[in-house]
Each structure stands twice: as structure tokens, then as C-alpha cells.
Homo-oligomer: A and B are copies of this chain.
Amino acid sequence: MATTRSAPHAPAGDAPAFADERVALFRADFPILGRSVNGVPLVYLDSAATSQTPLGVLEAERHFYKHENAAVNRGSHTLAVEATDTFEAARATLAGFLGALPEEIVWTSNATEGLNLLAYSFSNASLGRGGQAARRFALQPGDEIVVTEMEHHANLIPWQELAFRTGATLRFIPITDDGELRLDEAERIIGDRTRVLAVTHASNVLGTINPVVDLVALARRVGALVLLDACQSAPHLPLDLHALDVDFAVLSGHKMLAPTGIGVLYGRRELLDAMPPFLTGGSMITTVTMEQAEYLPAPHRFEAGTQRVSQAVAFAEAVRYLEAAGMDRVRAWDSQLGQRLVEGLADLDGIRVVGPEAGRERIGLAAFDVDGVHAHDVGQFLDDRGIAVRVGHHCAQPLHRRLGLTATTRASTYLYTTTDEVDAFLSAVAEVRGYFGVTS
């Protein structure tokens, strides 16, 4: 197998980016973008941490509470029936957006919970829960779980804990100095012992988009399950999970215009139906005695207790907003701004951008180190200009260690980010070293 990168499943560049006027229209839907901080207009470049939420999404949630709020999948009165319909329609909307079936969509609080759901369900299977059907999820000493060196802690620590609980071994695929996955190493590491391959689609620090097709092929060769962390791809690129042929995927609503408190775990239907439950309680059972319980099929098997109904409704509205904008155009815009960020930063003295160099594909973000100035001081300086960026390890300490850094500064964009904002950011960064008296 070649180690060259194959094209992502829908190559960038086939849709035009937004015109500035279109972006201005988006911005009108996000009142917070009009606020000022420290007496200057806010320049929000932290969408990779959490995106802003448009009025229509808030309105969808408000409408739900004003007209149909009731406990779903439990009640039989009119309100409860309506609320259940709305809730399940939201699931279908997400399924459509992701190229999946409604039964393959499990609501979670966020991507982190989705990953923990998998890790705990697998360890329950390892204890014999779920019987014969769940044996394929059981791990034991000698089995291997493979992640990459660029994972967010959310896609690392749950697997460390699963390895601890089952005796399995955690291995990782290293990256190149440019922040791309080493496919030659992937090919070596993904072997007969590999049971799970958990990999991010796009890196929240490097901006790299990983070659999912190649990785899936490597995993299929050895019969390993593939989990895709789609936290940074679902908001920024068109996704078709069936076409990508992954077994599981996780994402968070708050990174794609929805409120906090809602996320999705995708799982192939026959896998979800065979997995033992994670959270247990009401609304996920058929029969309960004092001694034991029998469980509903997926997705309800994994949705214990009263669900995040209004958040699911809002998430569906967020997805409609993105669909109306056009995910291929969102990608084109983010990618254009991402390039502008890298090119601008590369022109400055004493700045080291991590991840793929200018001209190579990346999502709309750039993380960098300023020689002689700590990232938190960079962030403070920018904040004084109203520019909101994220500083720190971005929940990817092992990656930073690999890069020889403890912290970086990250600017990230979304469909409401303007070219002017990127430029304002670049000129502010140009002044940072001078302000802190670093001259060398």
C-alpha cells in the first residue's frame, strides 16, 4: 500500500467560497458577533473550541418550550406525542446530514460522552455483558487499540482507561514534522492484534485532514473497528459516513452552531444493536425485575433517562442552517481563510505555524508558536485588541510534546468569519514580539 495521501472523499475546491456579502448576512444572525470587548469590536477566532449560535436555532428551542415541551418516548398524551415526533424528526435530520440512518444516531452530551460510551460498552462486553453477540467488542490482554499522536484527549484518555480495564495495549501512529499521519507507520502498526482504530478526521491543532479512506482500508484488512472523531470535520466539510465506511463516529453540536449539551454518536446499525448498554435507567429497557433488566434495541438502548430534547431540536435547526449555507461552500470558505491564516503567519518573523505548510490542505484554523513569548501572553495581547483566540495545549498535550512545545496560540474560523477579521488578527500578531520586547 502506498503511503501517499489519497484525496479526501469529496475533494476541496469544487464549490466557490462565499462572497463577503453572504458572510455579512450570516453575521446578522449572530448578535454576539456585534458586541465589543475592552472597548473594541469582538473578533471571534475561537470557533474550533465552540461556535456561536444563530438566532434561528435559539428560536427553534424557544418554540419547542412555548408549544410542545413534554417528556418524549414515555408519555401518550398529545403533547408527549408531538414532542416525540419532533425529537425523532431531529434525529432523522442529523442522520440525513451525516449520511446515516436515524437508528444509527445516538444522542449524547458531546463527543467526549460518545467516546466514553464506546469505551465503557466495550468493557462491559469484555465482562460478558451482551452475550455472544457482543463478543466482537470484548478486549483482552494481547489485543491492541490504535490511536494517533495527534488525538484530542477525548479520543485518547477513554482508550487508555479501556486498556487499563481490559488489559489491552494502546498504541499510536506517529506524525511527520509537518503534522501529517505517517501512513507507513500506520501500515506497520495496524495488524492482526488491532481491534479498534480510533482516529481524528481533522486535527484541532494542526488543521490536517486525515486520509480516512486509506486508514479504513488498513483496518478492514485486519478486521478492526474504526472510530472517526468528526468533531472538527462535521462542522467544516460535507460528511457522508456511509460512504466513508467507518464503524463509529462522534461529534459535538456546540462546534456547529448548536447549543451546548448535545452531541451525536454514530454507529453502524448492526454494531449498535449488538453492543451492551452504557448508561442504564429509564426509557432504555423492556422488562425490569429487582434482579435484572432487558434492553431496547439501538438507538434507545443508549439513551437512558430523560433526553436532551430541546437541544436535539436546536441541533437539527443548526444543521438546516448549515445545509442552507451549503457544506461544500462552508468548506471552501474555511479552507480559504485557513490558507490566508497560514500564509500571513508564515510571512512574520519568529512565528512557527504547526501542521501542513501553506498551500497544503487544512481546515480553517492555524496554531502557532511565537518565539520568546508564551502563548498565554500572546492571547492576552490579542484579547486586548478584541481578538478572541485559544491558547494552551488545546487538549492535545502529547501532540504538543511531540512538536516540542507546551502551548500554542490558535486562530480558527467559521462561515461567519470575515477576511478583514483574519487580517486584523495577522497585523496584531505582527506586533506581539515587539510589545514584549523580544528582538532576536
Contact = CB atoms under 8 A, between A and B. Distances in A.
Contact of A50 (B70, B109, B127, B288): B70
A35 B66 CA distance: 9
Interface string A274-289: 0000111111010111
A428 B65 CA distance: 27
Nearest to A402: B290
Contacts of A290: 149, 156, 170, 172, 398
A389 interface: yes
A310 B50 CA distance: 12
A329 to B, nearest CB: 24
A153 B53 contact: no
A183 B86 CA distance: 45
A334 interface: no
A376 interface: yes
Contacts of A379: 76-77
Interface string A76-98: 11111000000000000000000
A205 to B, nearest CB: 12
Contacts of A42: 79
A304 interface: yes
A305 B62 contact: no
Nearest to A81: B383
Q: What is the count of identical protomers in the complex?
A: 2
B288 A388 contact: no
A17 interface: no
B77 A46 contact: yes
A182 interface: no
A214 interface: no
A113 interface: yes
A74 B392 contact: yes
Contacts of A419: none
A303 B169 CA distance: 26
Contacts of A158: 279-281
A261 interface: yes
Per DSSP, chain A at the interface is mixed
A50 B283 CA distance: 14
A49, A78, A116, A305 — most chain B CB neighbours (10 Å):
A305
A52, A71, A292, A309 — most chain B CB neighbours (10 Å):
A71
A280 B130 CA distance: 23
A80 B46 contact: yes
Interface in A143-162: 149, 152-154, 156-158, 160-161
A109 B75 contact: no
Interface stretch (A8-16, A240-248, A252-260, A352-360): A252-260
A165 interface: yes
Which 10 residue pairs spanning A and B have beta carbons closest together? A112-B305, A154-B281, A282-B395, A261-B308, A112-B281, A77-B388, A157-B280, A49-B71, A261-B261, A37-B78
Given A111-B305, A261-B308, 17 more contacts: A46-B71, A49-B70, A52-B69, A58-B65, A76-B376, A76-B379, A110-B305, A129-B161, A154-B282, A157-B281, A158-B280, A252-B306, A260-B310, A261-B307, A287-B397, A289-B397, A289-B401
